[in-house]
Amino acid sequence: MTQPLPFEESARYEDVEMIFAAGSTAATEDADQIGADFGEIEEEFGRFLDESLTLRGPDSLGDLLAGADPPVGGIAVDVGCGRGRDAVRLASRFGLQVHGIDPSPINVQQAKDRAAAEGLDHRIDVHLGRAEAIPLPDRSVDVLWCKEVITFTDPIAAMREFRRVLRPGAVGLIYQVLTGPAMTAVEAHWLASQELGFGPARELRPADVEEAIRVAGLEIRQRVDYASEWGEAGQERDGSAGRRLTHAARLLRTPQRYIDRYGAANYRIMLADCLWHVYRMIGKLWGVAFLLRA
């Protein structure tokens, strides 16, 4: 059994969903008194909120995988490997033999170049392919890694394919920023319809991913709700989330200034990307990792 990481303070998606589902108490209580009580604690509350919480960044996904003891020398597949950054980490940190799979020929070439530049091309192979049709034999994979890809796939077809290629008992790690508990259907639909350069995206919530995992016959060993954590870590490191918030504000207030210079298509990508970062900070998007067993 994997040891849970120390993230007890993080609420689960379903807990935050309840916060938004619950109505206000103000209708039944004395508004003046509520305001006065809040006034007493407001400043101190703000200072308490200034205190940093324990924050994990993207590297903690590797720690999650480490807890599942991936076999040294085993076969891994990085589905939707992009430019190969994680494939390199899987090969160097865990001594795995990695297959990177991506439908973009540009990404495949860049991932190959990265593997060669890192001196790891003997351990990393990169192929054109999709999550729904992985070019590897049945039961040939010990570790499956799939980060920020599931929303671009047909999730049930992808999970079935994961099940097909994984050896019985093998481990899978899926990380995805999903539609959050504070996101309305209209906002979610708008965001999913924006082309960010990875192909059409789907609006998925944790329950949709869990259902696809279940239908495919895979088992969830652990679910980690990162929620805004990676965004908070970025904000504390270099102010990146606040910068995106300011950019979103400028894009919305003076669109023509940016459209004139960069064109409407680039404007829309930048707006969706900035809002993506803002939404992840406020529960409209929700980072989740699923550690699976085949």
Ligand X SMILES: C[S@@+](CC[C@H](N)C(=O)[O-])C[C@H]1O[C@@H](n2cnc3c(N)ncnc32)[C@H](O)[C@@H]1O
Residues contributing to the site for ligand X (CB under 6 A): 79-82, 85-86, 102-104, 107, 130-132, 147-149, 152-153, 198-199
For residue 10, CA distances in Å to 7, 31, 42, 147, 175 come to 6, 30, 23, 21, 16
Is 76:144 a contact under the CB 8 Å cutoff?
yes
DSSP helix/strand/coil, 206: helix
Pick between residue 17 and residue 153 the one whose CB is nearest to ligand X: 153
Given a contact cutoff of 8 angstroms between Cβ atoms, the answer to whether 191 and 272 are in contact is yes
Query: In the complex with ligand X, which residue's Cβ is closer, 149 or 278?
Result: 149
Minimal distance, residue 24 CB to ligand X, in Å:
38
Q: Are 174 and 279 in contact (CB under 8 A)?
A: no
**For residue 201, what are its two tokens?**
């995206």
Which residue lies nearer to ligand X by CB, 16 or 204?
204
**Residue number with CB closer to ligand X (100 or 206):** 100
Nearer to ligand X, 10 or 153 (CB): 153
In the bound state with ligand X, the residue whose beta carbon lies nearer, of 75 and 77, is 77
Q: Residue number with the shortest CB distance to ligand X?
A: 82
- Name the minimum Å distance from CB 16 to ligand X: 24
Helices first, then strands: H and E counts in the chain? 12, 7
Find the shortest distance in angstroms from Cβ 18 to ligand X.
Answer: 30
How far is the C-alpha of 236 from the C-alpha of 254, rounded, in Å? 28
Least separation in angstroms between CB 82 and ligand X: 3
Cα separation, 241 vs 57, in Å, equals 14
- Closest approach of Cβ 54 to ligand X, in Å? 23
Shortest CB 27 distance to ligand X, Å: 43
Helix (H, G, I), strand (E, B) or coil at 153: coil
Whole-angstrom distance, CA of residue 213 vs CA of residue 292: 9
**Shortest gap between Cβ of 37 and ligand X (angstroms)?**
45
- The rounded distance, in Å, linking the Cα atoms of 151 and 178 is 8
Whether the Cβ atoms of residue 202 and residue 179 lie closer than 8 Å to each other: no
Residue reference for tokens 């082309």: 195
Does the CA dihedral 234-274-65-77 come out positive or negative? negative
Taking the complex as a whole, the smallest distance from the CB of residue 90 to ligand X amounts, in Å, to 11
Look at the block and give the residue holding tokens 């929620």.
227
Integer distance in angstroms from the first to the last C-alpha of the chain?
Answer: 14
| CB nearer ligand X, residue 61 or residue 188 | 61
Nearer to ligand X, 131 or 227 (CB): 131
